[in-house]
Copies of this chain bind each other. A is one copy, B any other.
Amino acid sequence: MALPSTDTSRLDNTLAVIRTLRDQGPVARTDLGKLNGISSATVTSISAELLQQKLIRERPPETLRANGRGRPKTLIELAPNAACVVCIKLSINEIQLVVGDFSGQVRHSEHHAVPTLTLSADDLEALLEEKISAVCAQQLNGFQRLAGICLAVQGVVSSQSGAIIWSPALSFRNAPISARLAERFHCSVLLENDANCIARVLATHPDYADCPNLAVIMLGYGIGMSVLINGVPFLGANGSAAEFGHSKYQPEGALCACGRRGCIEAYASDYALYRAAVDHLALPSGDSAHPSEEQMQALTQLALQGNPIAKRIYAEAGRALGYGIANVLALFNPDLVLITGSGVRGFDAMQPALRSAIDDALVAELMGTTRIESCAWDRDMTCMGGIAMALHATDAETLLARS
């Protein structure tokens, strides 16, 4: 008995070709087939269609290096201007807008200082509309299509309903935000937690290919986490899973930005470290509500240089983080816990206490083979992940728009 139709598998194969070209850059047709388990006849037919739709292009022959015998293979690559996406990262008192092209490359980036905590939900929507419109007017000329928008937000979001449930950057809660932007810009709007965007980038990185079960901890002004289970971001029943920053170190402990006590964030976030230090150590001046990178660098340096007060503060932070990670190991049993974010600057100062806290907390069988590593925060991966997710979410639409 034959199955009636292979249309679905044709679409799946075409999407697989597009995503391979995005992840790997220019690829020869024969390799595209091998990488995706598709016959060469199917690759030829799919690439002919994509060429005709101007979604891919053949790479000009002069750039080929024929460093072997025989004819060099013609490579194909995504047509970068076939579509673009905009990623907006919303954090405390700052909005970043990034434009990514169809091949996933960042083409434009801008930052705006915005007093996010004073905004109403309407203010935020109006502001985002204005900033997105401006970036579209200036940047989108060369592009054939705005395929989608990704809003990457610190805090708890519901990707399904497109609502920001709760963000430390905002003073309002439960704000549906995706629908109005989708209507205004006639495109898909993805709402994502910022840590999930970063996990998306790390999950596709070759260094972590052997870690399908990955917990990424984001240290910074607050503390976030993203958990990948078999390579897929784990969101929970309504999108608020992996709120590691608000798991507990100590009942009735230090006051957290969430209003409760004893959260990991209340010990190991930038604001917690700064709060513990500000009355006792000479730090560069700045905005006390939101410690600056310069202040945090200075505090970290003091700890690494052996200042006993700074050392004690980082040791307590490392201990809280270690107990929190012990819970993550006991409950999630991941292959790898990866610590990143701007706060990773303080990891060396925290690490001895962190490791000994995990040893204190867990027997070896529960520690298991999980590795605990840090990842340098040399570039903000949030918007890179947001762009990748927005492109992934809209590839099928982009295909349909052209066929």
A residues with CB within 8 A of B: 1-3, 6, 156, 165-166, 173, 212-213, 227, 229, 234-244, 246-252, 258-262, 319, 323, 326-328, 330-335, 357, 360-363, 365-366, 368-370
Q: Report the Cα distance A327→B251, complex, angstroms.
A: 12
Q: Report the Cα distance A357→B244, complex, angstroms.
A: 18
In the complex, the chain B residue whose C-beta lies closest to that of A243 is B330
Pair B237/A368 contact, Cβ less than 8 Å = yes
Q: Report the Cα distance A399→B160, complex, angstroms.
A: 41
User: Chain B CB within 10 Å — which of A237, A249, A251, A333 has the most?
Assistant: A237
Q: Which 9 A-B pairs have the closest CB atoms?
A: A236-B333, A166-B365, A241-B333, A2-B2, A243-B330, A213-B237, A237-B335, A247-B327, A240-B333
State whether A249 and B247 are in contact (beta carbons under 8 Å apart), knowing that A1-B6, A333-B239 are contacts in the complex: no
Q: Report the Cα distance A335→B239, complex, angstroms.
A: 11
State whether A361 and B241 are in contact (beta carbons under 8 Å apart), knowing that A236-B332, A251-B323, A333-B236 are contacts in the complex: no
Which residues of chain B have C-beta atoms less than 8 A from A235's C-beta? 333
Which residues of chain B have C-beta atoms less than 8 A from A239's C-beta? 333
In the complex, the chain B residue whose C-beta lies closest to that of A258 is B363
Which residues of chain B have C-beta atoms less than 8 A from A246's C-beta? 330, 362-363, 366
Q: Report the Cα distance A122→B284, complex, angstroms.
A: 66
Tell me the minimal C-beta distance from A41 to chain B in angstroms: 10
| Copies of this protein in the complex | 2
Q: Report the Cα distance A370→B327, complex, angstroms.
A: 20
Pair B365/A156 contact, Cβ less than 8 Å = yes
Tell me the minimal C-beta distance from A68 to chain B in angstroms: 34
Pair B333/A327 contact, Cβ less than 8 Å = no
Q: Report the Cα distance A365→B327, complex, angstroms.
A: 21
Tell me the minimal C-beta distance from A255 to chain B in angstroms: 13
State whether A237 and B334 are in contact (beta carbons under 8 Å apart), knowing that A166-B365, A243-B366 are contacts in the complex: yes
Q: Report the Cα distance A239→B1, complex, angstroms.
A: 40
Pair B330/A365 contact, Cβ less than 8 Å = no
Tell me the minimal C-beta distance from A254 to chain B in angstroms: 13
Which residues of chain B have C-beta atoms less than 8 A from A327's C-beta? 247-248, 327, 331
Pair B249/A251 contact, Cβ less than 8 Å = yes
Which residues of chain B have C-beta atoms less than 8 A from A370's C-beta? 237
State whether A331 and B328 are in contact (beta carbons under 8 Å apart), knowing that A2-B3, A260-B363, A366-B246 are contacts in the complex: yes
Pair B241/A332 contact, Cβ less than 8 Å = yes
Which residues of chain B have C-beta atoms less than 8 A from A262's C-beta? 361
User: Chain B CB within 10 Å — which of A156, A327, A335 has the most?
Assistant: A327
Which residues of chain B have C-beta atoms less than 8 A from A166's C-beta? 363, 365-366
Taking a contact as CB atoms closer than 8 A, the residue among B213, B260, B362 that contacts A361 in the complex is B260
Other A-B pairs, 9, CB within 8 Å; known A237-B369, A247-B327, A248-B361: A1-B6, A173-B365, A236-B332, A237-B368, A237-B370, A240-B368, A241-B332, A243-B366, A251-B319
Pair A362/B237 contact, Cβ less than 8 Å = no
Which residues of chain B have C-beta atoms less than 8 A from A326's C-beta? 247-248
Q: Report the Cα distance A2→B7, complex, angstroms.
A: 11
Pair A365/B248 contact, Cβ less than 8 Å = no
Task: List 6 A–B pairs whose Cβ atoms lie within 8 Å, in order of A's numbering.
Answer: A239-B333, A241-B332, A246-B363, A250-B250, A251-B360, A327-B327
